[in-house]
Structure 1
Amino acid sequence: MSRIFISLVALSFIAGLGACSKEPEEAEIIRPVRAVKVGDAAVFTGRSFPGRARAHQEVDLSFRVAGPLVELPTDIVGRGYRKGDVIARIDPRDYEVKVQDAEGKLERAKADARRAQAEYMRELNIFKEDAGATSKAAVDRKRAARDQANADIKSLAASLDAAKDELSYTYLKAPFDGKVTAKFVDNFQDVRQKQPVVRLLDTSSIQMVVDLPETLISRLPYVTDIHVVFDTFPDQKIPARIYEVGTEASRTTRTFPVTLIMDQPDDIEILAGMAGRAFGRSKSPEDIAAEGIPVPVGAVFKPETEQQDYVWVVDENTGVVTKRKVTTGKLTSSGISISDGIKVGEWVVTAGVHSLEEGQQVRILNSNGE
């Protein structure tokens, strides 16, 4: 009896050791995903973005030829010019001489060509009338001389055109309507080719660059009624529109430069460097849905066995993903348009869509990948 009891105790002890050695079940891993809140334009409402005014066009003008200045107003800074107006001028005498010299060479070459043509025709007629009076080689020499004379005409004509161009370059003309804001040389000074002479700004339109977080770039199409208020004129709302959106985010701030453009107001003058803030109004969710909700192209996928387009929609409360059928439209600069299947304000996965499963729990990464 005692032996049986000891054996039972030993077996119970070994079974207990086995139970204790089992590893605990692994906790379910919640996968991080990148996602966007589609059509969420409300993030712009009530917000403003700082920036500074700059000229729509700005250029440092220089001559394409060198020489002494003979025309450059001393009070040129602040003057306005129309496109094509002469701003400054180099002494043209040396370039006028070049033109005259090229014209003379061209006229002489034309005279030589006429003589060469006459000599060739005379030699050719002699050869035709009496082959023994001349030779085929002599005719060929006369023809070669004529051809060379014609080639000389083409070369000298090109030289004359170049000389005329250089003469025209002695005039520095405004390439657009603008105002001179800086002068780098003085009148009667010798200037080099491509040496900056004056700076011209086009102030008919004003630009302002604002920096937007990368999370807001895809929502720019939903913003309307953009206007800018400059600190110098706090009571003036200047209508603006988006001119350009940067294609690369800053490595430090993770923001994209967005350039706004606006017409110069009639009653005030916005100068380059003035500080201001940009405002905008969001479109309504109904308007966004009616136009088609754009999502990143990487959000839309087709299973191998189907021809239907899908997206993964993330439940904001539970983090669970659901595969949703969608109707796609045209491709736009903001992504691919969805006309049916999702609603404004829903979260849609934008990367790794082929490795998710129905009902899987995920967590949405922020703009820093955290």
Structure 2
Amino acid sequence: MSTQRNKNSLLLALIMSIGLVGCQPIERLPIETIRPIKVMQVGSGEQLAAEQLPGVAKATQEVELSFRVSGTLQNMPIRIGQEVRIGDTLAELDKRDFEVAVDNTKAALASADAQLKNAKIEYDRVTRIQQRKPGAVSQSTVDLRHTAYNSAKASYAAAMAQLNAAEDRLSYATLKAPFDGVVVQRYVENYQDINANSPIFRLVDISKIEMDISISENQISNLPYVKKPRVVFDAFPDIEIPARIKEVSSEASQTTRTYNVRLIMDPPPGIDILPGMSGVAMADVDLPGQENQVMIPVSSVFSSADNKTTYVWRYNQELQQVNRVAVETGGIGNQGLVITSGLARGDQIATAGIHFLTEGQKVRLLSEHGAR
């Protein structure tokens, strides 16, 4: 009996010890956070990229197409997003009424032609008689035949003009592409009654893309020194598209006091840049007198707690981490903060989110925009 009691006690103690162990909190290992950052390669003041300027893509050519005549839409084989070539048929109206009008004007022209020929014959006849026998035909008769001939010529010209107008109206019943492009919008459905000049399609030419950006008054003077303008669209953040300046406004906006600069670019193969896509433009600025100055954006530096030391985060590509580096500054130049010591050309530094980084923290790159 005593042995059985001891066995029960031991079993109870074992169960309690297992329960106590199970109630202990599980020790969780800390998860290392890999923060995404933007970096730039340190260069001279002449190579420092200008600030990123937002803009929206637009087509070099864009038009809303419409019929010049009213009618019933009979054929519309084009779909939204379809590429078309110049001269391709986009839509057609019911042509029967226009064809009847052409036939009627052709008949009227034939009648006017017959009347003209008859009037000419009569005029020529009386003219010959008057020349042979001056007294056989009065001058009033000759004048009357001449007036009838001139009236017949006018009637023929009017009939010809009406035929040309009817043929034009018949041609207007077919809507054709005025240039190569993409149909991005369709406003009607097939078999609808269409009024003249009502929009049917929106056609854009995306073989070249433009972007308008705004340049401040203190930046516009640097425009002659801009090199390698380029654009990055939000839809393709890792692709820089070379651009060139197409035109610059000669007058600042009265409200924003900025100048409009239009860039134009060729989309890379396999990349569809559509009108309305957002992006940013940037460029290198080669200012005279800054060839030997190392400059970085002001936003990439931070100070110690006592404000006595200035730091940047230098990116270690091999270890994929950032390290704090003390730098000496020499003031703010036209294109950024002048660095006199602590950095060398070719170093990569963080340019965004610098207040959320820690020494030796693992990071990954979002993109690399900066000096070339």
Q: TM-score, normalised by structure 1?
A: 0.63
Q: Identify the residue that residue 279 of structure 2 maps to in structure 1.
A: 276
User: Structure 1's 42 and 210: CA in aligned 2 closer, same or farther, altered over 3 A?
Assistant: farther
The answer to which of 76-85 and 149-158 deviates more is: 149-158
1:68 aligned onto 2:53: no
1:45 counterpart residue number: 49
Picking from 47, 59, 62, the partner of 1:58 is 62
Q: Which moved more, 1:186-195 or 1:214-223?
A: 214-223
Amino acid at match of 2:110: E
Instruction: Find the aligned partners of 1:264 and 1:71 in 2 and give their Cα distance.
Output: 33
> Which residue of the partner structure matches residue 254 of structure 2?
251
Aligned to 1:227: 230
Q: Give the aligned residue type for 2:74.
A: V
Q: Does the 8 Å CA contact 1:228/1:240 hold for their aligned counterparts?
A: yes
| 1:1-370 equivalences in 2 (<5 Å) | 45-73=49-77, 76-283=79-286, 285=288
The answer for unaligned runs of 5 or more in structure 1 is 1-40, 287-344, 346-370
Residue 133 of structure 1 aligns to a residue whose secondary structure is coil
Show structure 1 runs of 4+ deviating over 6 A: none
Offset, 1:71: 0.7
Q: CA deviation at 1:280?
A: 1.2
**How far apart are 1:251 and its partner, in Å?**
2.4
Structure 1 position 189, deviation (Å): 0.3
CA root-mean-square deviation:
2.3
1:43, 1:150 → 2: CA distance?
76
Is the CA contact (8 Å cut-off) linking 2:85 and 2:181 kept in structure 1? yes
State whether residues 211 and 263 of structure 2, in contact with CA within 8 Å, keep that contact through their aligned partners in structure 1.
Answer: yes
Give distance in 1, aligned partners of 2:248 and 2:124: 69
- Asked whether the equivalents of residues 47 and 284 of structure 2 are also in contact (C-alpha less than 8 Å), the reply is no
Paired residues in the alignment total 248
Q: Equivalent pairs: percent with the same residue?
A: 45
SS in 1 for 2:124: helix
CA deviation digits over 1:167-188, x for unaligned, max 9? 1111111111111111111100
Superposition deviation, residue 42 in structure 1 = 5.4
What secondary structure does 2:179 align onto? coil
Distance 1:131 1:245, change over 3 A: same
**Contact 1:210 1:257 (C-alpha < 8 Å) held by counterparts:** yes
| Cα distance in 2, alignment partners of residues 158 and 215 from structure 1 | 60
TM-score under structure 2 normalisation?
Answer: 0.63
Aligned-residue offset at 1:284: 5.5
**Kept after mapping to 2: 8 A contact 1:207/1:259:** yes
5+ residue gaps, structure 2: 1-44, 290-333, 335-372
- SS of the residue corresponding to residue 261 of structure 2 reads strand
How far is the alpha carbon of 1:81 from its aligned partner? 0.6
Query: Is the contact between residue 44 and residue 223 of structure 1 (CA under 8 Å) also seen in structure 2?
Result: no
